[in-house]
Structure 1
């Protein structure tokens, strides 16, 4: 079995949620690892929800489905496939909910050499069958050559 070659990346994560006539947005920058294993690519990074609450996030890409896996204060597993309804779960210390994503757009481009990579994802998200809005997620990735 081949050992995965890990590359360090710098990334900017942006999320905009539109629901009705309201919208919320948040963003953060962090460092992560990008690696290929088997037939899939993985992006792994840590998300700080607060000073004491952290979530390890992994995005797994197989060329068709982007799988989001979050582990820590929040547990979440959700797949995204363009034009399909996919099911997952969102778990906090207090509750667990079924989730549904209806993916409209999905673009994954990994950085190579000095070029930037990006992930763009647009989907409708439902928690226990209740729509929470349309999410627009953008990640900008750049190979981190400072290490």
Structure 2
């Protein structure tokens, strides 16, 4: 059995949510690791929600579906397939909700050599039947040679 080769990345994570008459934006930078296992690629990184709370985030890409898995104070599992509606779940210590993503666009380009990579997802999201708006997520990925 082959051990997956890990590549370390620097990333910039940006999200924009348009809901009714306002837009919210959120951005952070993080270090992560990219590896291939079986027929899928995995991107893993840690997101700091507050000083004391973090979430381990994994994005799994099989060439068609991008699966977002968050584990920590928030548990979330949501798939994204361009042109389709997918069911998921969002769990906090207080409650658990069903989610639905109606995905317009999924773009995954891994960094090669000196080039940057990116992940883009555009989707409409509902949480327990309530529309949360139109979401746009963009990750800019760059190999982190200093962390090998």
Shorter-chain TM band: over 0.9
The residue number in structure 2 matching 1:96 is 96
In 2, the alpha carbon distance for the partners of 1:72 and 1:130 equals 24
TM-score (norm 1): 0.99
Whole-angstrom CA distance in 2 between matches of 1:82 and 1:106 = 6
After superposition, residues 63-78 of structure 1 pair within 5 angstroms as: 63-78=63-78
After superposition, residues 27-46 of structure 1 pair within 5 angstroms as 27-46=27-46
| Alpha-carbon separation, structure 1, partners of 2:2 and 2:129 | 42
CA offsets 1:88-117 (integer angstroms, 9 cap, x no match):
000001110000000001100000111100
Q: Within the alignment, does 1:61 sit opposite 2:45 as a pair?
A: no
Q: CA deviation at 1:73?
A: 0.4
Deviations 1:26-76 (A, max 9, x none): 000000000000000000000000010000000000000000000000000
In the alignment, what sits opposite 1:109? 109
Matched, 1:5 2:5: yes
Aligned to 2:50: 50
| RMSD (Å), alpha carbons | 0.4
Distance in 2 of aligned mates of 1:15 and 1:91: 20
CA–CA distance in structure 1, aligned partners of residues 88 and 20 of structure 2: 24
3-state SS of paired residue (2:145):
coil
Q: What per-residue deviation string (whole Å, max 9, x for no partner) do you get for residues 5-31 of structure 1? A: 000000000000001111100000000
Stretches of structure 2 lacking an aligned partner (at least 5 in a row): none
Aligned residue-pair number: 147
